[in-house]
Amino acid sequence: TMKNPVPQAASLLLEKLLLLVHVRPLPAGSGEESSPPAAPGYYDTSCFKRGDLLEVPRTLFVHFGIYLGENRVAHLMPDILPAFTDDRRQIQQVVVTNKRLILGVITRTASIRVDTVEDFAYGGSILVNHMDRLFQDQVLGSEEAARRAEKLVGATAYSLLWNNCEHFVTYCRYGAPVSFQTDKFCETVKMIIRDQRSVLASVLVGLASIVCLGLAPSTTLPTIFIPFFLWMAG
């Protein structure tokens, strides 16, 4: 018998969403709470200074935070919980779970939270002040950067393109909220739209969905309208 492709597609979509927000998916059966990815002291924090900009490369994107000293990092994370409670202690209690994270992306809510270096990095390698070379004379004082981050701790709006973790750290350390990842993503989207081969690709994908799932409005309309809009935009 042929397996239902819907659960597999949903699982793949969840994994891609987690990559977009810079967090590795939790292992299956991990439950609501996630264990710390590394034991305390896994990272040598003696080389970090208060106000440093920390970045952790992920598979597709990079996650950013501001080091506050004493093994603490302020960083912006999508999170649904601030929409239901103002209790900062409750929000801060555990690392954001996959469910909270995905719902935060969908509802565009987030929290700027303070976690240990281990929880922030989640086992990844850490780069320190790697973006300073791009801003040159715009780098603010380390104490000013840390104070800005501390003032912003708490619930905030979230947007993958306009208010993500990179916007947060560049505002704190350089005084201007920008995201080079967002700019690169938008340029890629523009290239895809301008390339008329994307029209043919979308037609083929649409026809394949009709063959696999049958002729229905949910398959036929996208097959017609998506190529049309791509063609017009190009």
The active-site residue out of 165, 172, 186, 212 is 165
Half-sphere exposure for 227 (CA within 13 Å, toward CB): 15
Measured on CA atoms in the order 75, 82, 24, 43, is the torsion positive or negative?
positive
The answer to whether 173 and 140 are in contact (CB under 8 A) is yes
Annotated active-site residue 47? The verdict is no
| Phi, psi at 54, each rounded to 5° | -105, 140
CA 101 to chain centre: 9
CA dihedral 132, 135, 140, 142 (to 10 degrees): -10
Between CA 173 and CA 53 the distance in angstroms is: 7
32-58 exposure pattern, b = at least 16 Cβ within 10 A, e = fewer: eebeeebeeeebebeebebbbbbbbeb
Q: Catalytic residues, which ones?
A: 165
